[in-house]
Amino acid sequence: MLPILLSALDTPEEKDFFSRFYHKYKTDLYRYALSLLQDQTLAEEAVQEGWMKCVKNAGVFFQIPPEKRKAWMVVLVKNVCLDIRRKESRHQPLDPDWDMEAPAQGEPLGILDTIRAMPDQYRTILELKFVLEWKDKEIARHLGLPLTTVTTRISRGRKLLQDALRKEGYVP
């Protein structure tokens, strides 16, 4: 990793200083990322991306007073970790232990099964809203969506759910 980073720097002085800085703080930054992400692979990814951003912004890095460079790098890695957590939370499946018995042949589907059969954009939000009883703001924060998108999808999903339940024989 270090040779790639050094190749992006211009002068031998910058390369020498950056190399010493890298070796001095690489372990600390990895431990910090690991404490935030609780996953070795993601922590390594976060630190590598942090170093890449540091070199990409080498002009800023070398203008920062030497005693503040570590703090700047820690904030950089923290922000990368937060970005990774946001991305990961968008792709987290819901609890697989929710499975219920399948209905017998010809028996109407249950409400939960009807929700699970819906398109993903509605299914996930409706499960969080009606099964886990989350508030709209919590859902928006968890999925990384604007609150208006969540409320719109709840409304449209509720309408789709009502239509599907009517087809199954439920009467409002």
Domain regions of the chain by residue span: 2-90, 96-168
CB atoms near residue 89 (< 10 Å): 12
pLDDT at 30: 93
Identify residue 108 by its one-letter amino acid code.
P
- When computed from its CA atoms, the radius of gyration of the chain, rounded to whole angstroms, is 24
Tens-place pLDDT, residues 41-99: 999 999 999 988 888 888 888 888 888 989 899 989 998 998 888 877 665 554 444 44
User: How far is it, in rounded angstroms, from Cα 114 to Cα 32?
Assistant: 43
* C-alpha closest to that of 145 among 129, 132, 159, 161: 129
pLDDT at 82: 86
* C-alpha closest to that of 42 among 93, 81, 87, 91: 81
User: How far is it, in rounded angstroms, from Cα 149 to Cα 136?
Assistant: 10
User: How far is it, in rounded angstroms, from Cα 118 to Cα 109?
Assistant: 13
Q: Band of the pLDDT at 102, cuts 50, 70, 90?
A: very low
Which of the following CATH numbers is that of domain 96-168: 1.10.10.10, 3.90.245.10, 3.90.1150.10, 1.10.357.10? 1.10.10.10
User: How far is it, in rounded angstroms, from Cα 55 to Cα 57?
Assistant: 5
User: Could you say which architecture CATH assigns to the domain 2-90?
Assistant: Orthogonal Bundle (1.10)
Domain 2-90 matches domain 96-168 at the CATH topology level: no
User: Are residues 59 and 12 in contact, defined by beta-carbon separation less than 8 angstroms?
Assistant: no
Eight-class DSSP state of 166: H
pTM exceeds 0.85 for this model:
no
Q: Band of the pLDDT at 167, cuts 50, 70, 90?
A: confident
User: How far is it, in rounded angstroms, from Cα 99 to Cα 112?
Assistant: 9
Tens-place pLDDT, residues 107-164: 445 677 788 888 888 888 888 887 778 889 988 888 888 999 999 999 999 998 888 8
pLDDT at 31: 92
Q: Band of the pLDDT at 36, cuts 50, 70, 90?
A: confident
Is 172 a residue whose pLDDT tops 70? no
